[in-house]
């Protein structure tokens, strides 16, 4: 679903889509996000960053947030000027943990464990929000 609202200076837009918590949904989410951001004329560098974040959070939703019979949801909100907010929600109540101590990140040869580190490094702000069922990872990326 796409929606628009027109303000005095800019057009704010939003997009929402639910996905099956299966590995094939991660590239599908990334493609749809990139197409939506292009339609909104979000700068390419910001679009690539947002797509990477969506990919990482969608992967986490598939690997760690999967609950039988439940979908995960990706939401984008663009203020039309300065930032895009991203939400990826799943039905699991397990909250992700970001390694905070030096030396606690995954081993260099590890194939996983860096998603939230990337999200933290690439975003302007991020947080985990509890929901009635599950959780939402909220992220803001500056576009200007």
pLDDT 10s digits, 29-62: 999 999 999 999 999 999 999 999 999 999 999 9
pLDDT of res. 96? 82
pLDDT of res. 21? 96
Supply the pTM of this predicted model.
0.85
Q: Residue 38: exposed, middle, or buried by beta-carbon count in 10 A (0-12, 13-18, 19+)?
A: exposed
Place of tokens 């984008």: 76
pLDDT of res. 127? 95
Q: Strand 72-78 vs strand 83-90: parallel, antiparallel, or unpaired?
A: antiparallel
For the chain (144 residues), the mean pLDDT of every run of 10, in chain order, is 53 95 97 98 98 97 90 97 97 79 54 75 95 95 95
Domain ranges for the chain: 11-98+112-142
Fold classification of 11-98+112-142 is Heat Shock Protein 90 (3.30.565)
pLDDT of res. 12? 92
Residues 6+ apart with CB under 8 A from 129: 135, 136, 137, 138
Q: What angle do CA 23, 2, 87 make, to 5 degrees?
A: 50
């Amino acid at each position: 679903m796409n929606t628009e609202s027109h303000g005095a200076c800019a057009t704010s837009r939003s997009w929402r889509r639910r996905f099956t918590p299966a590995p094939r949904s991660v590239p599908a989410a990334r493609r749809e996000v990139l197409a939506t951001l292009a339609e909104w004329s979000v700068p390419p560098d910001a679009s690539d960053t947002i797509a990477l974040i969506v990919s990482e959070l969608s992967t986490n939703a598939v690997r760690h947030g999967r609950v039988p019979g439940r979908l995960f949801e990706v939401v984008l909100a663009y203020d039309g000027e300065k930032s895009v907010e991203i939400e990826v929600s799943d039905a699991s109540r397990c909250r992700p943990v970001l390694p905070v101590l030096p030396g606690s990140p995954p081993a260099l040869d590890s194939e996983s464990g860096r998603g939230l580190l990337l999200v933290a490094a690439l975003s302007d702000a991020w947080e985990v929000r509890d929901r009635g069922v599950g959780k939402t990872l909220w992220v803001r990326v500056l576009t200007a």
